[in-house]
Amino acid sequence: MSLPSIQPANGLGDLKFDNSFLRELPGDPEEGPARRQLTEACYSRVAPTATAAPKLVAVAKETAELLGLSPADCASTEFLQVFSGNGLLTGMQPFSTCYGGHQFGNWAGQLGDGRAINLGEIVNTEGQRLVLQLKGAGETPYSRTADGLAVLRSSVREFLCSEAMFHLGVPTTRALSLSLTGDEVMRDVLYNGNAAMEPGAVVCRVSPSFTRFGHYQMLAARGETELLEQFLNYNVTTDFPQLAGIAPGPERALAWFAEVAARTTTMVAHWMRVGFVHGVMNTDNMSVLGETIDFGPYGWLEDYDPDWTPNTTDAQGKRYRFAHQPAVAQWNLLQLANAIFPLVNDAAALEKILASFETNYVETWNAMLGQKLGLQSFEARDGELTDALNSVMQLTEIDMTLFYRNLVDIDVREESASADLTGVLTSALYDPATLTGDVQVAWNGWLQNYAARLRDDQQTLDARRAAMNAVNPLYVLRNYLSQLAIDAAEQGDFSRIETQLDVLRDPYTEQPGREEYAGKRPEWARTRVGCSMLSCSS
């Protein structure tokens, strides 16, 4: 722990730390990054590794505000020093946590924060507890064979997507800052023997808790039932205060599990609403708070393809494809249920919650889909319409985001009941010439049924437009847009990150002059690495 201690005379100096994870849970007696397997402990004390020449790339002012930091605070040299891993504020006690997980369906044993280091927990003026965590700040006991570092491209993606999700209304961890370290990092992007040096970077992430399903699984796998119980009780009192009134014991564990399942339902339904594919939904990448966490080989659906996965590592089995995300979430919850079983000892009660995940998900998703389509409410009869939509959307390449955004312009007048309504699709199609013959007939059939349903609803156009535009974003973090921001940043131009973040601050409102940020994927991006294909290399 040889990092300099920093005492800034600005808002940073006012951050008050209350490191409950360290205080309430047992830690590893050994410090430092030597690799080891933990027993009877939840974390190891380890400091960030100092970097050669840190440079601030971007700050998300909304996240800074959450911490009570002003733009001037964020522009200070102390800010850069601390959030690039080169200094510690009074009260910071850096540590990494131990977790396990199922990767691609297989138990992987101990994983842990291999390149994440928590600096400490603050309680903000609203009383909200927030953990500050650096990603890419060097080796930890959990780095296994890797280097604990992160590169600029993956850090830009994590930074932008965290904030994009927040502004879209999707539960997510937040990003405070993105810095270059000045160090070079070796990566083989496609794992094909073409390793190259890339600029290293660090992101500071912020969340009330970074606790993952895998934290529970690790304790269960080690057979440490007492510590498992202590961990759950810590988690409940710290992060689920609404459940703290239930006495410790099976009833509390079940209520907690039901709450995690409910939050996971909401999170995944939002992913489906905005066309987000996480790409690596391993159980170690599932937050118990139901926040989207670990932005790695994620992607955004452009042409609607339920079978699409952005992750090249997942290209064979497509376990983490778009349409499979709800089922994977349920499978992950099953693993979490197994982990906490020793605290409940009632398989039927856990199974009941798992079974209700499915019904709750369908209900949540139908309600959202109804909103996306501008229906006053989703009715049982609408299942046929939405199933048919899922099919017609796969007949020809159509941009999911633009399709929903444009749909409000459909001609619903009675006198158009035998007209061709497919003009509303044109600007969303990747190749408008494909809209002929049977494809056009099928689409027109669907649009006619939809228009009839809207006539039934008798909502005014203004009301429908407002409702639809509130859930159908115009701007999402399209894969190629991230890549353009990365390309510029790698050349030393960070302005595209700034502008991209600014566009995403208001994703549901048309922003004149920023049409390029709402555009369909250009043809060059269809096959470019980083746009259509991503790997776990980061």
> Which of the stretches 108-116, 119-127, 172-180, 469-477 binds ligand AMP when contact is defined by CB under 6 A?
108-116
Partner in contact with 148, chosen from ligand AMP, Mg ion, none, beta carbon below 5 to 8 Å by kind: ligand AMP
Decide: is 287 part of the binding site for ligand AMP (CB under 6 A): no
Residue 382 to residue 366: CA distance in whole angstroms:
9
Closer to ligand AMP by Cβ: residue 484 or 536 = 536
Residue 224 to residue 217: CA distance in whole angstroms:
10
Exactly one of 181, 282, 283, 500 binds ligand AMP (CB under 6 A); which one? 282
Exactly one of 78, 113, 302, 397 binds ligand AMP (CB under 6 A); which one? 113
Partner in contact with 349, chosen from Mg ion, ligand AMP, none, beta carbon below 5 to 8 Å by kind: none
Which position's Cβ is nearest ligand AMP?
114
Instruction: Give the three-state DSSP class for 431.
Output: coil
Residue 386 to residue 226: CA distance in whole angstroms:
48
Instruction: Give the DSSP H or E segment for 33.
Output: none
> Which of the stretches 168-176, 219-227, 277-285, 330-338 binds ligand AMP when contact is defined by CB under 6 A?
277-285
Secondary structure E strands in 378-442: none
Closer to Mg ion by Cβ: residue 224 or 294 = 294
Q: What are the CA-CA distances from residue 81 to residues 63, 162, 277, 342 (Å)?
A: 18, 22, 34, 44
Q: Which among 476, 471, 531 is positioned nearest to 503, based on CA atoms? A: 476
Decide: is 293 part of the binding site for ligand AMP (CB under 6 A): no
Q: Which residues bind Mg ion (CB under 5 A)?
A: 285, 294
Decide: is 149 part of the binding site for ligand AMP (CB under 6 A): yes
Partner in contact with 251, chosen from ligand AMP, Mg ion, none, beta carbon below 5 to 8 Å by kind: none
Q: Residue 205: phi, psi to the nearest 5?
A: -100, 155
Smallest distance from the beta carbon of 296 to ligand AMP, in angstroms?
5
Closer to ligand AMP by Cβ: residue 50 or 474 = 50
Q: Give the contacts of 113 (CB within 8 A, at least 6 positions apart).
A: 96, 97, 98, 99, 140, 142
Smallest distance from the beta carbon of 188 to ligand AMP, in angstroms?
12
Closer to Mg ion by Cβ: residue 74 or 218 = 218
Which position's Cβ is nearest Mg ion?
294
Instruction: Give the DSSP H or E segment for 118.
Output: strand 116-123
Residue 4 to residue 14: CA distance in whole angstroms:
18
Closer to Mg ion by Cβ: residue 115 or 167 = 115
Our CA dihedral for 271, 277, 280, 286, rounded to 10 degrees, sits at 0
Smallest distance from the beta carbon of 216 to Mg ion, in angstroms?
15
Instruction: Give the DSSP H or E segment for 405.
Output: helix 400-406
> Look-up: residue for tokens 């208001």?
506
> Which of the stretches 12-20, 41-49, 146-154, 305-313 binds ligand AMP when contact is defined by CB under 6 A?
146-154
Q: Site map for ligand AMP, 115-134, x if CB under 6 A?
A: x-------------------
Q: For residue 120, list its beta bridge partners.
A: 132
CA-based max dimension of the chain: 77
Smallest distance from the beta carbon of 331 to Mg ion, in angstroms?
17
Q: Which among 247, 333, 250, 245 is positioned nearest to 288, based on CA atoms? A: 333
Smallest distance from the beta carbon of 158 to ligand AMP, in angstroms?
11
Smallest distance from the beta carbon of 137 to Mg ion, in angstroms?
15
Catalytic residue (choose from 73, 284, 382, 399): 284
Is 14 noted as a catalytic residue in this protein? Answer: no
Exactly one of 48, 94, 112, 299 binds ligand AMP (CB under 6 A); which one? 112
Decide: is 146 part of the binding site for ligand AMP (CB under 6 A): yes
How many angstroms separate the first and last alpha carbons of the chain?
A: 26
Decide: is 296 part of the binding site for ligand AMP (CB under 6 A): yes
Closer to Mg ion by Cβ: residue 150 or 476 = 150
Long-range contacts of 249-252 (CB under 8 A, 24+ apart): 250/343, 250/344, 250/345, 250/346, 250/349
Q: What is the DSSP letter of 522?
A: P
Exactly one of 22, 38, 74, 111 binds ligand AMP (CB under 6 A); which one? 111
Q: Which among 483, 427, 509 is positioned nearest to 299, based on CA atoms? A: 483
CB 165 within 8 A of CB 292: yes
Residue 118 to residue 506: CA distance in whole angstroms:
30
Decide: is 280 part of the binding site for ligand AMP (CB under 6 A): yes
Partner in contact with 64, chosen from Mg ion, ligand AMP, none, beta carbon below 5 to 8 Å by kind: none
> Which active-site residues does the annotation give?
284
Binding site for ligand AMP (CB under 6 A): 111-115, 142-143, 146-149, 280, 282, 284-285, 294, 296, 536
